[in-house]
A and B are shown apart, each in its own frame.
Chain A
Amino acid sequence: MLDEAAVWQVLADVPDPEIPAIAITELGIVRAVECLAGAVTVTVTPTYAGCPATEVIHADIRRALLAAGAVDVHLRTQLAPPWTTDWLSAATRAKLNANGIAPPCSAAASNTHALVFRPRVRCPRCHSQRTECLSAFGATACKALYRCLECHEPFEYFKPL
């Protein structure tokens, strides 16, 4: 039977379907794990309310836990507190950057102050600060489109939320 530490370990190997370089635990969306009388309950919070990856993530969690020996898996959705990119650790940010996605600036300030929508973002390839925002919306809900004016490569920016 899996204990909570073992469940966390299994979840650490479940990749985000849209950004496979990082695990769902690194994304900060797994809010709680509970093992009670053979039943495993995983509490997940969505990144964006309409993110189509949410249902894939739920299915992936269930599959991974069943494969690891769990027999009774429950998934709970928790909306509050809302997910924020501030839950991404420094190591996760470095991983994003290494995979060509510029990591988000702090969103914490945006809870009380005006959000910085188009901050200066460093190019994840050549590290130049001479970049420009092409669109605040990218290929997934969580990313914006940028272009580096130095190396001329387009890249994605993980938006602060």
Chain B
Amino acid sequence: MSVSDPPPAQASAVCATHVPTLLRYADGSLVLSQRLAACCGHGPALEEDIALANIALDLLGQARLLFAHAGALEDQGRDEDALAFWRVESEFHNPVLCELPNGDFAQTCLRAFFYVAWQAELWAGLTHSVDRTLAAVAQKSAKETRYHCEHLAAWVVRLGDGTPESQRRQQRALDYLYPYANELFCDDDTDRAAAAAQLGPLPSTLEAAWRARIARVIGEATLALPAPVPFYSTGRQGRHSECFSYVLAEMQALARAHPGATW
């Protein structure tokens, strides 16, 4: 965010994976925000249109704060716009879950619910980060994330415990999306280094609380939780699904067509 003037005294990175860790968090927020923003004007009702756009905006706010922080720590002259618009597909490290197609409304809601429910656990874990700016972003975001969780979970329950058609669709979305959640809890070297430096929680430590929350909501929605499968998507390592390049192309086209343009 280009609003700090003069810039606050910069802390230095606590470990080699500090910036990559921030980018993983930021990329997840940005990509899901972009996906949800595409629903604007297409919501099933005006209120829902507004709600999804609001959630997208909050996610964008998280991404901007995290990008600005990562860019300052990295100290290579990349600001939030450079990080969002001038990296290529393999340089993005969001979980694949965030980039999956919107599908129908049931899929849109459940995909977002999976991610914001994960964020709720993440923010709680980040409150104790040695990176005090990251902790502040987490503390701020946690309050907004509670509204997202509540709203999206309510839709999953309403559709699941709804008409035969809405239930069929919500179950279909659940069967499709559930395997992609595995990636959210899969520790790699970057995660282990970040956890050792007390930067952020190990993803695997967030799993139990997340699965408990999901099971509660899925139960209330009278849906059947799919059996676990040993499938791990790899967006956090920069290897994405086929649909991701289309998301990026749409998001980046304007900035790339007019480099350096300002409002």
Contacts and interface: CB of A to CB of B under 8 A. Distances in A.
B3 A79 contact: no
A75 B3 contact: yes
A119 interface: no
Contacts of B64: 49-50
A107 B143 CA distance: 10
B57 interface: yes
B139 interface: yes
B150 A117 contact: yes
B146 A50 contact: no
Interface stretch (B48-56, B91-99, B193-201): B48-56
Q: Is the interface of B mostly helix, strand, loop or mixed?
A: helix
A145 B3 contact: no
B135 interface: yes
Interface stretch (B4-12, B75-83, B222-230): B4-12
Q: Is the interface of A mostly helix, strand, loop or mixed?
A: loop
A145 B47 contact: yes
Contacts, number: 95
Nearest to A84: B143
B140 A141 contact: no
A135 interface: yes
Contacts of A135: 47-48, 50-51
A49 B65 contact: yes
B60 interface: yes
B130 interface: no
Interface residues of B, number: 35
B145 to A, nearest CB: 10
B232 interface: no
Contacts of B4: 75-77
A117 B147 contact: yes
Nearest to A85: B143
Interface stretch (A26-34, A52-60, A87-95): A52-60
B59 A136 contact: no
Q: Which of A50, A141, A145 has the most CB of B within 10 A?
A: A50
Contact of A137 (B3, B51, B139, B146): B51
A66 interface: no
A24 to B, nearest CB: 14
A80 B61 contact: no
Contact of B62 (A49, A83, A110): A49
Nearest to A139: B50
A144 to B, nearest CB: 9
B17 interface: no
Given A48-B144, A49-B144, A54-B3, A137 B137 contact: no
Interface of B: 1, 3-6, 8, 47-48, 50-51, 53-55, 57-62, 64-65, 132-133, 135-137, 139-141, 143-144, 146-147, 150-151
Q: Which 8 A-B pairs have the closest CB atoms?
A: A50-B61, A49-B61, A79-B136, A80-B136, A137-B51, A135-B47, A137-B54, A82-B140
